[in-house]
Amino acid sequence: MQIDPAAHLLKEADYIPSPNMDDRPEGADINLLVIHSISLPPGEFGGNSIEQLFTNSLPVDDHPYFQQIHQLEVSAHVLIKRDGSVIQFVPFNKRAWHAGESCYHGNERCNDFSIGIELEGTDTDPFENSQYETLVELVKALCKHYPSITAQRIAGHSDIAPGRKADPGSGFDWDKLSSLLA
């Protein structure tokens, strides 16, 4: 994978701009990757509901759960679908609204200095090999383009918002990711 240095976008990803982003604070060092999981409706894969959520166009009447979340203004930098394909919503140099109230190694407001990667999945189901393959390629590209990001600076949403968030959950194999990055 390659990152366009001018646009801060993955050349291999489909780009669907999200309005749920803004500028990072002046001088912010991008130095953390945050792994999330999401499925919409919960437990269902496929479709374009995640894309609709991240672009504030989720049809409230399509599922009862959507009535609870349609007003949220959230995004991630990228989404890795079950088949390994990638959609980018926010350029990497911008602040995506993915972490919420968060803290990593004493540094609060993780959105300021992190890149959010959503994996289509649940907190309990295993992720697909194609997702790990794409994630590894993405991590390597991000580490190359943003030198402050290392394999040791990858956290789950649950790590930066303990008690509030559980993703990517028990279905995510951290050992597998580490071995694939080695």
- Please tell me which residue in 51, 118, 128, 137 is annotated as part of the active site: 118
Among 76, 101, 79, which Cα is nearest to 21's? 76
DSSP 98: -
What is the residue range of 125's domain?
3-181
Q: What is the CATH number of the domain that holds 122?
A: 3.40.80.10
| Residue 128 annotated in active site | no
Q: What is the pLDDT of residue 155?
A: 98
Mean pLDDT value across the chain = 97
Handedness of CA 41, 11, 90, 182 (dihedral sign): positive
Whether the model clears a pTM of 0.85, i.e. scores above it, the answer is yes
Q: What is the pLDDT of residue 18?
A: 98
Q: What is the pLDDT of residue 84?
A: 98
Name the pLDDT band for 149 (thresholds 50, 70, 90). very high
Calculate the dihedral angle through the C-alpha atoms of 102, 135, 9, 157, rounding to the nearest 10 degrees.
-10
How many separate domains does the chain show?
A: 1
> What are 73-101's pLDDT values in tens digits?
999 999 999 999 999 999 999 999 999 99
